[in-house]
Structure 1
Amino acid sequence: MYAHVFDVDIRFPDLADEAWDEFDRMFPGIRDTLPCVASGSGGASRHLHFLTDKPFFGRKLAVSKAKHRTANGGWTYNWEIDLFGTGRQVAMPPSIHPATGIAYHWEREYDLEGLEFGGGPVIDADAIERLGIASTGAFDFEASPPKTFTPGQMESELDALSLDILDDRAKWVMLGQALHHQFGGAQEGFDLWMRYSAKSESYLKGSSLNAELRRYRGFGRNRRQPVTMATVRRWYLEERDAAKLAFAIAELDDLDDAGTPVATMPASDDESGEFDDLLNAERPAAKSTDESVFDIGLTDAAPDWKTLLAISEKGSIEPNLHNLRLIVENDKRTAGVMAFNEFTQEVVQRGAPGVRSPNRKNQAKPFVQLSGPIWTLRDRANGDFWTEEKDDSIRAMIEAPKTQGGYGIKVPDRDLRAAINIVGRKNCFHPVREYLSAQQWDGTPRVERLFIDYLGSPDDVYGRDTARLMMIAGVARIFEPGCKWDYVVILQGLQGKRKSTFISTLAKNWAAELEGDMTDTRAMVEAMQKAWILEIPELAGFTRADVRHIKGFVSRQTDKVRLAYAKRTQEYRRQSIFCGSTNDFKFLKDDTGNRRFWPIGCHVESIDIDRLRAEVDQLWAEAVVLYRAMRAEQPVGDLPLYLTGAAAQAIAVQHQESAQVESADEAQAGQIGAWLDSPIMSGSVDDDQDAEGRAIVRNETCLLEIWVDCLKKDRGLYNQQTAQMLGRAMRMVPGWTVEKKARRYNRAYGLQRVIARDVETPPWPDAGGSV
């Protein structure tokens, strides 16, 4: 079988019904049966997965009648339906969409195992071959419209091009292609090309005007990525800038020690001042005659930072990012104030502002300082949130007149935020890492008995190993962000035992509840940035689909997302661990396996939180020692943070099975198993018993027979969804194997995928029949 995908790309959600109506017309009755992925682009676009017995190349199956103009001026369809086949790639969950930062996710999952029972999402190849390819218009040329020039601008820029470009055959051809695109292949474009080509000594050597005209007319064949006048204009700008740079360097060489003004090159009104930064950056700042420029507050550690400031022609400080960074980093009032919290991944205030005193005695006007309640430091461990009010206060300080301790420059908001961010990131800290590194273990073992002593859990190898591994994982995620840790300890017990308080106390100041949609990567990353231990509350309240999402979510080591305040997608390595809580004794609902969940019973009346607060520092101090010993034993690679002993694994399975909620598939598997092992009753003694008088049971069956004879359902209601449901149930019945190929089963059911009883497996104990 060959895997394919229908890409239903709906650019306007209001037109979703129109697109799906067209899909239903081409493939009636199958839309709701195919595995479906919601696109990370958001909206109504979907990927429908299916299988065929033939491979197909990608085809465009249908498009909307109407089109819309895109932001770049081109045209595109309102919706399109494509077949992705051989040679095509498609994003799969949990991939992150690069533009939105949203994860692709399954709406209907792909049940590959159901294929062996003939219930997979298969479409007849003939149904696809009967479809034609939707016609599309050639709008690629219009997608790159001619460039706009002012009268005479294009001709003057062409005149300024050097002979080097005309003598370079590749660039000379590109010039002709650009003119062909600009004039739509008209004769005027060819005449201009030949006019400027005549400047070169290679003009028409070994060629003729008719030959070049034929070449020119052939340029229009490539409409997908045409060469435009933007390329030619880039050549012009590069040559112009190179000339200006050479002129500036030559003028800088003529500067004398007295600070002779630099000569300027004539420029048009729209280009005036374009190279001021270049000239000023090269001229030593000490040559300025305005001594008051340097009457500013300095830190003792950097007495010469003022010489790095970019100074204008008039001797004033340029209001650019370079200068703002120097000021924020070195002014006594801001130096050391901001820092970057590597745990929460944000700039915070971690230092108190300094005071800048005037150099003169009897200063007439007071200096602007950073003072007031917003600068009172409240959280020295994590740092205080950096607020817009702090940006405003620093802006007011910098924009103040020099006579009041300011710099007298207008501060752009974007540059000020960038300067604060740059300076803050040069002063990084990690509060949880600092906390762990500061703890000294007293040598008394406590970690392995965490659940035993505080929760009243049984004193067995499972309880000791899970406590030890969870604590080491908590330390490892801090010292090695993104390290592998796939498990969630679930605290199980009646309400009122203070399970949530136990989790928050263990996490010190870095605990949070994991709420919301776990497929929303942005929201989850924002929650994880502030927490060391994340509680997943009331696991019993989640659906089976939710639990599957949780399993995939907790096993990830990194998250790629563009946060709400960020401009680019970033990768965030996880620094937290998860701990669940539930008041129910039956809470595991995933029939595909629950190995990632480690249930821990809470058997005390109320957890002793006061004792935990007194000992929590020593618990983490010991965990750090255990982590370092484990890393020393295995210097590279993933740490063995999983149950390794057979006894602990066996107890884990027992706890997981006892917490398993019976699914509908499991209940149905029990009913089917009992029917398969019941004697066949035809009403005839000769047919119902073997030669030895023992009752005869079925050795073969098929899904349709189970549907009709076992479940007593209407044969006309049997469809792909019911086949998948029965296939899942049959996989839970022990001792039965599906045959690889379909064959004639019997007269009543014809050609079927037969499911046969294993020879080695007897009937269930209570059947009383023969095999």
Structure 2
Amino acid sequence: MILQNDRQIQISAAGSRWATSWPVQQLWWSEFIERIKTPARSTESLLTYLRYPKSQQDKLKDVGGFVGGVVDGQRKAANVKGRDLLTLDLDNIPAGETENVLCRLDGLGCGYAVYSTRKHEPAKPRLRVIVPLSRTVTPDEYEPVARKLAEIIGIALCDPTTFQASRLMYWPSCSADSQFIFQYGDKPLLSADGMLAMYGDWKDVSQWPQVPGAQPVQKLAAKQEDPAGKKGIVGAFCRVYDVYAAMEQLIPGEYEPCDLQDRYTYTGGSTTGGAIVYGEGKFLYSHHATDPSGGKLCNAFDLVRLHKYGELDEEAAAGTPTGRLPSYTAMKEFAQADPHVSALMKQEKYESAVSEFGDPDPASDTDWVQQLKINGSGNYLKSVDNILIILRNDPLLKGKFAYDEFANRGLVMGAVPWNEAEGRRIHTDNDDAGLRWYLEAIYGITGKEKIYDGIMLVAMERAFNDLKDYLWGLTWDGVKRVDTLLSDYLGAEDTLYGRTVSRKSLVAAVARVMEPGVKYDYMPILSGAQGIGKSTLFRLLGKAWYSDSLATFEGKEAAEMLQGVWINEVGELNGLSKSETNAVKQFLSKTEDIYREAYGRRTGRFPRRCVFFGTTNDKEFLKDPTGNRRFWPVDVGVREPTKNVFTQLAGEVDQIWAECVVYWRMGETLYLPKEMEERAKEAQESHREANAKEGIILDFLAKPLPEDWRQRDVLQRRMYWSGEFGQTPGNLPRDRVCAAEIWCECFGSDLKYMKRGEAREINDILRGLPDWEPMKTSGRFGPYGLQRGYKKVSTLPKK
């Protein structure tokens, strides 16, 4: 496009209204017209679009946008450096007046472009006017120029907020069936100086044209909540400082009074009298474009916040709530440090506390309060030392925090101001929040970390271990019950192996309480029919410290589930896969768990204080052909029990543990003696899941080989195994083998079809055979080349 009236302009554009950066683009006015003449059309109809909620409408029309000038960083008034384009939204055009407005624009005598905006329809016209300026105008100049041009066009047609220098204008877009209007005029550029000259004094805000019917700021201020009535730091600040006091004492020199009452001039701008005080000092609204608080109705708190800390919000994401802005945080700290605000808050918090909790008991000892340290303003120091004094002495908090050493968790020991429930309960996040609230309300003390430190120190002063106290408090009557526990109550065979498993596992449970983290990595597994009382036995033995909820054996979740549990029942082991069984074995081998607790600040070490018992109804539950040493299987329900687990065990539990304590004090070991290890291996083997291929492989390995076996290729070997062509039987016993040999010769398969899973299965079987062991190094296996194999133990020279 070629225009007779053209100039280079600068705009700032971004792909979304949420953008935090608006890069500057330099282009010709004619290029800009080319960019806006074609809209982005979406697929929905206009009627559908108008039925959408506002959030959906905003999303659809956000096809990116522009500011008609240079924006340095985030799009806000203080960051606008100048404007080359004047933009006006005409949202109040009467029905049927579109053509008249277009004619009016064409008769202005200056260059322009106009396009319809997203909600435009013939019955409710909406147009956006863009006018190129003869020169770049400053932010202070922009609004009076825009308002004067709007007055010429008809300011009643304009959106009341369209005059802001930082205002975003979306690129053209419309619905699938919408009417789109576009028109431009190639005429002289609008003279900014000529427009300003039409004022008596363009810097006087009172001379600027206003949109008729627009809600005056005074009415807006009247509708706002009285800032002095707000709760928290904002209200306290506004009760100490109104706008007048804030301007004079906290941001002196930012504003100067004018001749007119309640009008002030922002000293950093070019216009005068643009800052107006409303509500007898409750609010200020500034029309100054370069004022940090410009275009906002501010109470004293926000006025000081924007002037002192507004620059901190440069990197904040668009749409961030005011309460989460960096400037808000900084202003809160400033207000809290103000001695007048702090003193008022302390007084008001005390009065609130009296009304909430009643008058102090005259008979209670309050001398301890004198131990609390105060600062120069008379406020209690927000120190750990003060918090400790309060937690140890305040009548509503004294003795209420303790630590359960066995469960590794804090407890609340009775009613507290934020929770009237009596009795012992777990210390929760709600208790942390409640204590922070109480300390702030009564003492004006805040600081999450310091309060947390105080709770920990006081709780550890009252640490206890109920389970250890329970065990130490038992006295054995001398009657032996532990060794025959499984045979007496669950009908296990009364064997030395069964007795040993019963004693070792229960003494290990005592040892884990007395010596947390002591080495013990075994798990007895009771195998027997459902309903004979396996779970009942462990539930009664474990008392309040029993659990059958261990759902995983991996990660922090599993470790956390152990805290506060002594007897862990692991049910239905037959449902575990081989990989899950391996995870169980690895889990059992740990003597401590290392992880960071939820909301914890540091990684902690948690020595194991529990033991594990497995239960299953299945006979074959060990799936690993090797590595089952950690499991001690015991068959139960094989004979009639001599005692009833459901009616008699509860009365003997204390004596069972008392007996175990005696064995522990006598130095009972927590592993099986050598002769019992053999019995355990037999039990493990009898409960191992059988693999049908194991017998085939054993038969294959037992067959003798000819002397030239290693020189034969795969085809010759297969012919030998088939017995065809009169093969002479060999006479040499096999002394080594590899997985490839088994796959190709034993199972008659092709090596190229052997997958990793099949190789692993064969290796697992070979590894579990009693007379075979893995070779330490790779060896050559005839036609299969270099392989990791197995050799027969009996062929090794004896040491």
Structure-1-length-normalised TM-score: 0.50
Larger radius of gyration between Structure 1 and Structure 2? 2
TM-score, scaled to structure 2: 0.48
